[in-house]
Structure 1
Amino acid sequence: MLNLYKLMFLSTLIISTLISISSYSWFSMWMGLEINLLSIIPLLSDKNNLYPSESALKYFITQALASSILLFSIILSLNLSESIPLNLNFLSFIMNSALLMKLGAAPFHTWFPEVMEGLNWMNSLIMLTWQKIAPMVLIFYNYNLSNFFLFIILSSTIISGILGLNQISLRKILTYSSINHISWLMSSMMNNQMIWIFYFLIYSIITLNIIWIFQKFEIFYTPQLFQILNSNKLIKLFFLTNFLSLGGLPPFLGFFPKWLVINNLVQNNFYSLSILLIIFTLITLFFYLRITFSSLMINHSETWKFYYIPLNFSFILFNFLSLTGLWTCTLIFYYI
């Protein structure tokens, strides 16, 4: 049951994101980001979280620093451009660095896993999905294809793959997976905004399905997966397909946005970038497969007895969408 203050701050969180992405001036966008920050801090300071004060404080310090840098760059661009000749690339570099820090992209990512480790699953879902919308859209407004963004894309996909290899915390695994998807999302921004919308929507659906399972059974670490998943075959099927879909394996839904991004990059002659993205995403796919294969193959505690676990209609519907989404999207785009 939602408390009244949670409902109020959740509504202001949604409104602040809409203010940021629909504003016409940078000051209004910055104001929306500040309202967003002030709205999520009470939600992070929840007694159900593992380390509520620590996560909220780390998040607040990082976001306040990024907001001050963003405000500094806005003031420079508005007031000093006429009197003092400034390099626009330098201002764009400062502004984009602040937004990337808010987003959690590598190499500005070090706060992200530490904050996520102290949150419950519902707050983690907000951090992984909704909190990415405003910084991503603001980056898209100021996006110019440069070596800086190419460096961010490559560092996000490389660092997320390497640092996610030795993790047993599922929250950190999803965090490094999110950093990897940030690189794909930024690659999808290059020429086509609709691809970014498709990618983010499908990523949010898959993440919702996975976190729904984790929250339902209160799973936080990989050793807990073996006992829970071996008790119900339907839950195991949903978990395996969603994790493989998150990795982008066909014939699951997660393959569709990656295919769109690769197709867009190849059509615009970004051959080397698409090859590097594919190669380094295989590292993240390795630890997805390690988790899924372990829960699939290790059957020493598995029994043929079926334990009935009640599943509501919305849970089955979202997982069914994840299972059949690629075929549905392929048919829709074929007839369009």
Structure 2
Amino acid sequence: MSSCSTPRSCAAAGRPPHRIVEETDRGYITQGDNNNAPDQVTDEPPVAQAQIAGQALGVGGRVVTIPYTGAVATAVGGVAADARQRVNVLLWRLTDTSGLSATQFSYVLTGVLLVLYGIESFREGSGSRRIDRRHVRADGGRGEAPVSAHAILLLLTAVLVVATTAAMVVPGGAQQYDVVASETESPVLVPPGEETTITHGIANSPVLPMTVFVEGAEGVRVDRHEVGLDRGGTANVSATFDVPDSIGHHRFYVVERRYIAVFPKSVTRALYTQHPWLPVLGIDALVAVPYYLVGRRFLPARPSRRGQPRLRT
């Protein structure tokens, strides 16, 4: 995975990570480390801000790099894609349906994680009590409770946070629309310098109600910035693109940010106004903290050296 020279360097969605070599009014000019010319010397348009999928972390003017991160991310993505393909083949054989989209598969994966999470939580709770009783009998009351119980509780809490975050982050993001500016009279083309309006559809899974914030990237205006979706609900947002004066291929982006509807809309809106990730962190905390505290309450207490129970701290 190529490194980036400055914190402004990035990995653009849908393309290999390249360095930003120039910033223009239309977007960023990028170039690969092993390329002799920028990507935009061909018909490739400049990279828009909405396409930015990652940004390098810089400390003291130097980029922080983690070896093999790209290889691991590619491997995980390949495994997920292969798993979805296998599931879709099985569904096609059993039900003669087209299968699951990437968004639907993410929800199924989230549900599987949550089910496994609940099963393992129950097994860990009952298993820890059995191990604790055996340990006390073997050592005459002077033994220590298994130190792994708390570590497993933390691991399960982390799994719950990942599953909750994935349910909000995976279905959202930027959706690309391509517009060709031309002076011909073809109805699928837009004259340079004019506007064109499309309908951006939003669909929710039948699992969780969502609050969706919709923003237009540069050159895009939307008529609704906030949409509430029930389980399985749908909504349409009108997006207007300001086509540049130049003839050619232009890209526009409509960005969605999805949040599980556990907070009042006013609270989610206030957090979102400060930063798009604040509602995610708040929802994760609302889910994870009670689980951790309840799980901590039922962990076996550590006996004292004299065999007397010690209060939890």
> TM-score per shorter chain, which class?
under 0.3
Task: Report the TM-score when normalising by structure 1.
Answer: 0.25
Task: Report the TM-score when normalising by structure 2.
Answer: 0.26
Greater Cα radius of gyration, structure 1 or 2: 2
